[in-house]
């Protein structure tokens, strides 16, 4: 009788971090869903705030035109959102969510370091005459 009660109280096909059957009373539910919802809302607020600051940064410090800086930021945002769809497809079809999370975190780390390197070289391009600026722009678009 106790085994039947425990089996009806478990999530079918789900385990906890110790590879035991996940219990309905201890795993998931509204608390976990509300936590995920709050984290997503805060992440989107930070993302949109950084996007608007990025337009200002590209315009003021990188000396791009307002239309070009806004276009670069919308290209970046579109690429980021499409890559999220690609990651969701790959995690559902081929890999686990954990593997996709680790791979995307590694890619994000590499891209942030690349953007740092690109901004430094673009600043050098503005300060040093006869520096091949077109090569930097070509490499940045090919890396996307």
Alpha carbons within 13 A on the beta-carbon side of 55:
14
Quick one: pLDDT at residue 29? 67
pLDDT tens digits, 67-113: 988 898 888 888 888 888 888 888 888 887 778 778 877 887 887 77
Q: What percent of the chain has pLDDT over 90?
A: 0
pTM: 0.48
1, pLDDT greater than 50: no
Quick one: pLDDT at residue 85? 86
Among 48, 9, 44, 46, residue whose Cα is nearest residue 27: 9
């Amino acid at each position: 009788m106790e085994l039947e009660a425990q089996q009806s109280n478990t999530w079918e096909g789900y385990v906890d971090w110790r590879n035991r059957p996940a219990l309905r009373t201890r795993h998931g539910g509204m608390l976990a869903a509300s936590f995920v919802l709050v984290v997503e809302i805060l992440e989107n607020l930070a993302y949109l705030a950084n996007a608007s600051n990025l337009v200002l940064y590209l315009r003021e410090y990188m000396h791009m035109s307002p239309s070009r800086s806004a276009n670069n930021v919308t290209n970046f945002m579109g690429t980021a959102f499409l890559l999220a769809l690609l990651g969701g497809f790959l995690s559902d079809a081929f890999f686990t969510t954990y593997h996709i999370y680790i791979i995307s975190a590694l890619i994000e780390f590499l891209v942030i370091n690349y953007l740092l390197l690109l901004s430094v070289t673009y600043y050098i391009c503005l300060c040093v005459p006869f520096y091949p600026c077109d090569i930097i722009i070509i490499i940045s678009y090919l890396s996307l």
